[in-house]
Amino acid sequence: MSNTASAPSFRRPSLTLLGTEPWRAAFELAKHTVSGVRSAQRGDGHPVILFPGLGSDGLALVPLRNYCNSLGYHAFDWGRGRNTGPNGDVDAWLDDLAEHTLEQLAPFDQKATLIGWSLGGLYARELAKKIRPRVRQVITLGTPINWNSDATHVGWIMRLMKGESAAIDAKRRERLRKPPSVPITSLYSRHDGIVSWQACRHARARRTLEDVEVEGSHLGMGWNPSVMRIVADRLAQPAGQWRPLRAA
C-alpha cells in the first residue's frame, strides 16, 4: 500500500510479464475457486456498477460482482456488452454512456459506487465527472489514470480489434489525469503485465485519493482476493464518511 506521488517516468511492462499474464490469472482463478474470500460486514444496499476492460465483457468481473452482491449491495454490469473502446466522437460516446448509466441508477435513491477495470476505470472516472450527484466513489483496478501510450500494451490490442491506434492527444490526456471530485481508490500491481503500475498512481495528492498496491496479474483483478477485500472495505464506508484504507 502506498501514498500518492508525482507521476514518475515509466514504460510498458516487460514481455515476460505480458506473456505470463494468462497463466498467472488462471492460477489466481483456481486459487479463488478453491479458497474463496470470506465475506466482510454486510453492505447498505447501495448500487455498484462494474465496467469491464478493453476486449472484455461482464464475465471477467462476475466473481467480483457476485462477491459485492453477497455482501448486500446491488451490483450489476455496465450493460453495454463487450468493451471495444469508445466509438466515433469520444465525448459524445461518453455522454451517451452517462445517460445509460443514469437510467440504470434511476430505481435507486442512494448514490452509486463505480468500479472500473483497466480501460473501464477511465470510463468510471469520466462518468463520475458527468453525473457527480449520483456517484458515491470510484474504484479502479489496474487503470492507467496517468495515460501514456508507452505505458501499456493496449495499443496493439486496439489495432487488432478496431484497426485504430490507442494514442490520444495531450489535451484529452490531461483531462483523463484530472480526477473527479469524489473519493477514489486506485488499485495497482507491480506484476501487471499489461499496464505499467506507475501509470495507475495519481500524480498529485488529495485527501480523498488513494493508490493501493496489490499482488497479482492484470487479467486476474476481477477475482484477486486482495482486490475483493479492499473493495469490500471501500464499499462499507458510510456515505459521506470517507476514510483512508490504511486507517482501517
pLDDT at 162: 46
Q: What is the dihedral of CA 139, 142, 146, 151, to 10 degrees?
A: -170
Judged on CB neighbours under 10 Å (0-12, 13-18, 19+), 248 is exposed
pLDDT at 196: 87
Listed residue (176, 175, 171, 247) closest to 208, CA to CA: 247
Stated pTM of the model: 0.87
Q: What percent of the chain has pLDDT over 70?
A: 84
CA dist 106 and 152 (Å) reads 35
Indicate whether 142 pLDDT > 90: yes
Please, what are the domains in the chain? 15-35+42-236 (3.40.50.1820)
Burial 152-185 (b: 16+ CB within 10 A, else e): bbbeebbeeeeeeebeeeeeeeeebbebbebbbb
